[in-house]
Chains A and B, each alone.
Chain A
Amino acid sequence: MGTPVFTNPSANRTGYQNNNSSQSSEKTYQSEDEKISTNSAEDALAQLIRADWDNFKEDDLEYIMDYAKDITNETYVDRAVGQAKRNVNLGANSVYAGQKKRASGMGVDLSSAQINDRQKDFKRAKAVSLAGAASDARDSAIDRRNKLIAGSNISSLSGGGS
């Protein structure tokens, strides 16, 4: 890997020259993964920049691209709306069922007209609730998405090497 740099005896105080003169396969500058392996300090820094970048591409790039895709498309907006609707439905159904049980426990005896009225009221309330929750969820999810896009580090895709 190039001419050894530490041939000058005055450089001996660092002890680096011994490695060069012994012709060992171990280089002066060698990382454990052997992505950096040289006897030249300058080459070592160049190899380090390359190794950092390669590691970044190997370990991080796919993650970043997936994240970028997820926060710029409609996935999490649609998901929030779906969650809101499903939960309002579930919440309403379980609360209405609870009320029916409670009323029967209290000995409430409603006429069929009252029962019909109440069911209509509940349906109306649920429809309003569903629309409101879906709209709020969409607004919040868009707001969240904008914040993530603004706050993410996608634009400074500098990778490794500092």
Chain B
Amino acid sequence: MCSNVGGSKPEMTEAEKESAKVAVEQYDIARDLDFVKEAYESQVDALGSSGYRNYARGKANIAGMSSLEDAAKTTKVRQQQKGIDPSSGASTSEFNELTGTGAEVVGRGMGEAEFSIDSAYLGGRANRVAMATGEATKAQIGLGDIADRAVADANQDAFSDFNSSASNASALGTAVGMGASYYLNKPEG
């Protein structure tokens, strides 16, 4: 196949020529798929918006406050059953403890929710960078899958972190339980 006569440049084989043709087609397809990269980028940008963070923080706030209210109701009923005066030291101390724990849980829950969204945003940007620094032409052919998976991962990470921090609200139950057993078993002074 080679016609390298008299030191002239070797001619490309048919396979090489066909490869070049395919490479140009791949290049065209990659350009056609650039919009997927852009779509992914705008999804990532949305994760970085204050709207998304506020939403997550709001969710954490509602979850924390609702757990706190449940714990307060339980405590109130328990105190009533024991005949504890709501103005007594035993009652107010228990509620103070509940409030302290609740403030910590609610505040931290909201902070962690925002932090998780920021982490997902930064992770998404890292993925976008990986798309750019990968094998540009070939990688972009499969970008649809990559983008879908990356977005799903980002959301999954954000919300599983968020849910685990929201589940910190269970700490309320522990604190109240400990406080309640201490005060309720204490002889009335």
- B-contacting residues of A (Cβ < 8 Å)? 5, 11, 13-14, 16, 28-33, 36, 41-42, 44-45, 48, 51-52, 55-56, 59-61, 63-64, 67, 70-71, 76, 79-80, 83-84, 86-92, 94-96, 98-99, 102-103, 106-110, 114, 118, 121-122, 125-126, 129, 133, 137, 140-141, 144, 148, 151-154, 156-162
**B107–A45 CB distance below 8 A:** no
**B103–A83 CB distance below 8 A:** no
CA distance A133 to B147 in the complex (A): 34
Cβ contacts A to B, 24 pairs, < 8 Å = A5-B11, A29-B20, A31-B24, A31-B28, A42-B12, A45-B23, A51-B27, A63-B41, A64-B129, A64-B133, A67-B128, A76-B118, A83-B111, A86-B111, A90-B110, A91-B64, A91-B109, A95-B68, A96-B103, A122-B96, A133-B108, A140-B115, A154-B129, A162-B135
Interface of chain B residues 60 through 96 with chain A (CB within 8 A): 61, 64-65, 68-69, 72, 76, 86-87, 91-92, 95-96
Report if A29-B21 is in contact (Cβ < 8 Å); known contacts: A41-B16, A83-B115, A91-B110: yes
**B96–A121 CB distance below 8 A:** yes
CA distance A68 to B68 in the complex (A): 41
CA distance A103 to B41 in the complex (A): 50
Question: Of the candidates B24, B76, B106, which one forms a contact with A95 in the assembled complex, judged by CB atoms under 8 Å apart?
Answer: B106
Summed over the interface, the residue pairs from A and B with CB atoms below 8 Å come to a total of: 204
CA distance A95 to B98 in the complex (A): 10
B167 located at the interface, meaning its Cβ lies under 8 Å from any Cβ of chain A in the complex: no
Q: Using a Cβ–Cβ cut-off of 8 Å, how many residues does chain B contribute to the interface with A?
A: 63
Given contacts A83-B114, A122-B103, 11 further A-B contacts (CB under 8 A): A16-B17, A29-B21, A41-B12, A42-B12, A87-B111, A92-B103, A102-B72, A141-B115, A154-B129, A156-B133, A159-B132
Of chain B, the residue at the smallest CB distance from A36 is B24
CA distance A159 to B61 in the complex (A): 43
Chain B residues closer than 8 Å to A63, beta-carbon distance? 41, 125, 128-129, 132
Question: Of the candidates B27, B87, B103, B110, which one forms a contact with A31 in the assembled complex, judged by CB atoms under 8 Å apart?
Answer: B27
CA distance A154 to B14 in the complex (A): 38
Instruction: Say how far A134's CB is from chain B's closest CB, in angstroms.
Output: 9
Chain A residues closer than 8 Å to B61, beta-carbon distance? 90-91, 94
Report if A84-B111 is in contact (Cβ < 8 Å); known contacts: A96-B99, A99-B95: yes
Question: Of the candidates A32, A41, A83, A152, which one forms a contact with B20 in the assembled complex, judged by CB atoms under 8 Å apart?
Answer: A41
Chain A residues closer than 8 Å to B128, beta-carbon distance? 63, 67
Instruction: Say how far B131's CB is from chain A's closest CB, in angstroms.
Output: 8
Chain A residues closer than 8 Å to B126, beta-carbon distance? 67, 148, 151-153
B152 located at the interface, meaning its Cβ lies under 8 Å from any Cβ of chain A in the complex: no
CA distance A109 to B115 in the complex (A): 40
Chain A residues closer than 8 Å to B37, beta-carbon distance? 59
CA distance A45 to B61 in the complex (A): 57
CA distance A24 to B37 in the complex (A): 35
Of chain B, the residue at the smallest CB distance from A68 is B129
**A55–B107 CB distance below 8 A:** no
Instruction: Say how far A36's CB is from chain B's closest CB, in angstroms.
Output: 5
B149 located at the interface, meaning its Cβ lies under 8 Å from any Cβ of chain A in the complex: no
Question: Of the candidates B20, B31, B91, B138, which one forms a contact with A162 in the assembled complex, judged by CB atoms under 8 Å apart?
Answer: B138
B130 located at the interface, meaning its Cβ lies under 8 Å from any Cβ of chain A in the complex: yes
